[in-house]
Amino acid sequence: MPFVTVGTENATDISLYYEDHGTGDPVVLIHGYPLSGTSWERQLPALLAAGYRVVTYDRRGFGRSSQPATGYHYDTFADDLRKLIETLKLDHVCLVGFSMGGGEVARYIGKYGSTGVRKAVIIGGVPPFLLKTPDNPEGVDQGVFDGILKAVATDRYAFFSEFFGNFFNTDVLKGSRISEDAIHASWIVAAQSSPIASIACVPTWGEDFRGDLARIDVPLLVIHGDADRIVPLGASGARTAKLVKGAQLEIVKDGPHAVNWTHADDVNASLLTFLRR
């Protein structure tokens, strides 16, 4: 299996598992919490059929990547992405981030600039700034994050079961747009993640990406479901599109957080149109 080493912990390498398929302009798909690169399975065939090279990878602590005790903050996530891009010698790349992965897209460009990046896509992303503060009244109260953190630390397996109910809006969409089996498969992936990473990533959802968004100078597509219960459209995607000059906002009607699964046809159509433009 292919891995890229991004650091060390004591005498052990920290390695990211990745998959690299197809030819053409590269598209890097960055997954959300608490999943892995396999969560892009409904985008991969469409992108390959359209002639793109598609790279997926597992964030540190998740999937088949190493599970270190450190490095769970966006500066390190961006460094990990940078190492992957450099190792694979990717250029003219489109970065596509879902949920937490939207933070990687923003922080990568904020930290490293857009050299080698031709376009960017944020789907249900956490930018620009989810935490409610005096200068960010549209954000979410700190108590919400504290409650999530406590739930994950107490019994992350039970938390994941409840989380995926709102992740996919199962009370509305189960049986029509997502099966019980697919939900269970996501739970298994989440359960195999690092217990440390499961907890440590929660505070990162309140990261301030406003300065990073100000540095995005490539075409940006923002895709967001209007029924997102995890990362509300008004607090995130709609604001991100307003903060980045020329950004395009695509709202998925009745879409939950995980629109890349439940509304894959809509997401894929928007993504391919944007990539070809």
pLDDT tens per residue across span 24-49: 999 999 999 999 999 999 999 999 99
Q: Report pLDDT digits (tens) over 249-268.
A: 999 999 999 999 999 999 99
Domains contained in the chain, CATH given: 3-276 (3.40.50.1820)
Q: Report pLDDT digits (tens) over 138-193.
A: 899 999 999 999 999 999 999 999 999 999 999 999 999 999 999 999 999 999 99
Annotated catalytic residue 228: yes
Residue 20's pLDDT band (cuts 50, 70, 90): very high
- Distance (Å, rounded) from C-alpha 236 to C-alpha 239? 5
The active-site residue out of 99, 186, 198, 270 is 99
**Tokens 């399975």, located at residue:** 41
According to the model, what pLDDT value does residue 56 have?
98
The active-site residue out of 31, 224, 257, 263 is 257
DSSP string for residues in 194-262: -HHHHHHTGGGGG-B-HHHHTT--S-EEEEEETT-SSS-GGGTHHHHHHHSTT-EEEEETT--S-HHHH
User: Is residue 1 scored above 90 in pLDDT?
Assistant: no
Closest CA to 190 of 76, 58, 41: 58
According to the model, what pLDDT value does residue 246 have?
97
The active-site residue out of 224, 228, 236, 270 is 228
The answer to whether 30 and 43 have CB atoms below 8 angstroms apart is no
Contacts 24+ apart (CB under 8 A), 112-117: 112/78, 112/82, 113/215, 114/215, 114/216, 114/217, 114/218, 116/85, 116/90, 116/91, 116/92, 117/93, 117/218
Annotated catalytic residue 257: yes
According to the model, what pLDDT value does residue 228 have?
98
Which secondary-structure segment (H or E) carries 185?
A: helix 180-191
- Distance (Å, rounded) from C-alpha 235 to C-alpha 68? 31
Annotated catalytic residue 36: no
Residue 240's pLDDT band (cuts 50, 70, 90): very high
Residue 75's pLDDT band (cuts 50, 70, 90): very high
Whole-number percent of the chain with pLDDT over 70: 100
Closest CA to 72 of 205, 190, 209, 197: 197
